[in-house]
Amino acid sequence: MREGYVISGRTALPFEEVVKRARALLAEAGYGVLCEIDVAAKLKERLGVEREPYVILGACNPPLASEALGVEPDLGALLPCNLAVYRRDGRTVVAAVEPEVMLSVVGNERLDAIARRVREDFERVVGELAGD
């Protein structure tokens, strides 16, 4: 489901399973996970705040990133594309950045086709994860 700046869905699957499946589905779509941020652990470590599990996977498709950076070299400031997985109200939520919205701030129409491709990939990944 697209909601403003994210593509999101919910599932009853366990958090850890969704993170594992997200990595596999991203890889199948040609994306590598460049970074993983355990937000819940960092908030506990830095602020002593307890919260439900929350992880951000920073994903990148090298050919698409290379093409986009060739068009707009400063685009690196908006990369990688993030996919968040977290628990809320007993369900696991998956939320990915909406690439067309994110890249609209750049104002370069030559990025439109790339943004559409990334959106299609992320809609498929989120759909598979939330398709319980």
Quick one: pLDDT band at residue 4, thresholds 50, 70, 90? confident
Residue 80, classed as helix, strand or coil, is coil
What confidence score (pLDDT) does residue 131 get?
A: 79
pLDDT in tens, 104-128: 999 999 999 999 999 999 999 999 9
Helix (H) or strand (E) holding 39: helix 39-47
Which pLDDT value is given to residue 11? 96
Residue 1 has pLDDT above 70, yes or no: no
User: Stretch 72-80: mean pLDDT, rounded?
Assistant: 95
CB 44 within 8 A of CB 74: no
pLDDT digits (tens, 9 = 90+) for 51-62: 999 999 999 999
- Find out whether 123 and 7 touch, Cβ atoms under 8 Å: yes
For the chain, the average pLDDT equals 95
Say which residues have a Cβ less than 8 Å from residue 86's Cβ, sequence separation at least 6: 15, 39, 52, 53, 54, 55, 92, 93, 95
